[in-house]
Amino acid sequence: MGISVKLDRVLLERGMSLTELSERVGVTIANLSILKTGKAKAIRFSTLEAICKELKCQPGDILFFSDEDGAPAPAE
């Protein structure tokens, strides 16, 4: 529902662990898991930029939109 963050697939493709990403981006693991679990209310452009830079991807590779009526987000 709404915007969701899917980091797992890209992380797997890059062979990077969540801990490594956290260190590279400068965001705590706790905050990264808030992002992953969908509890986050917003994401700063600077955070998104850093994540995309480290994962060498586009925002669209990690952010997904699904309708409010529960249509599933693309599978990871």
Partner 1 sequence: MRAIGKGSLASILAMGLHVMRVVIWIAFVGLSIAVVMIPFAAVIVGLLSGVDGVNVDASVSIDGGDYLEIAYYFVTAAVLLFIINHLLEILKTLRFGSPFVMENADRFRAIGYALLIGELAKFAFGFLSIFIEADVDVGLELITWIAIIAVFVLSEVFREGARMKQEQELTI
**Contact set with partner 1 (CB under 8 A):** 27, 31-32, 34-35, 39-44, 47
34 vs 73, which CB is nearer to partner 1?
34
What is d(CA 30, CA 1) in angstroms, rounded to the nearest whole number?
A: 22
Dihedral class, residue 17 (left if φ above 0, else alpha if ψ from -120 to 50, else beta): beta
11 vs 27, which CB is nearer to partner 1?
27
User: Does residue 21 contact residue 11 with C-beta atoms inside 8 Å?
Assistant: yes
Closest distance to partner 1 from the beta carbon of 66 (Å): 20
Angle between helices 29-36 and 18-25 (to 10 degrees): 110
Closest distance to partner 1 from the beta carbon of 36 (Å): 10
65 vs 72, which CB is nearer to partner 1?
65
